[in-house]
Amino acid sequence: MKRAPRIENKVISTIKVNVLYFAQVREATGIREEKVMLVKDSTVDNLISKIKENHPRILRLNENIQLAVNCNIGGKNLSLKEGDQIAVFPPVAGG
């Protein structure tokens, strides 16, 4: 676990996760994968916000992008930990 600089005499702990982008999400971000640093105890929802902040073109996709954490579909409140692998892909249509 890495530590960020002190802010107002507090040390903020961070984690780093590996994010993989697929299909239209990869096209929107322009990259295949990246490491994303988050504050410790961040959730999937926090990661989604960070991705949208770093890659605003992803906003053109439906808000319902799908994420899998360590090969398991998870809810937005799922806590992330150091080294997690997150796959991000567009919503899939069935029929």
Average pLDDT over the chain, rounded to whole?
87
The per-residue pLDDT for range 25-49, each reduced to its tens digit, is 999 999 999 999 999 999 999 999 9
Q: What does the DSSP 8-state code read for residue 79?
A: B
CATH assignment of the domain containing 81: 3.10.20.30
Q: Which residues lie closer than 8 Å to 74 by C-beta, 6 or more apart? A: 44, 67, 68
The answer as to whether 63 is a domain residue is: yes
In which domain, by residue range, is 73 found?
Answer: 11-89
- Asked whether the predicted pLDDT for residue 7 surpasses 60, the reply is no
The answer as to whether 94 is a domain residue is: no
The answer as to whether 83 is a domain residue is: yes
Grade residue 84 by pLDDT with cuts at 50, 70 and 90: very high
Domain count across the chain = 1
Q: So what's the pLDDT on residue 6?
A: 57
The answer as to whether 43 is a domain residue is: yes
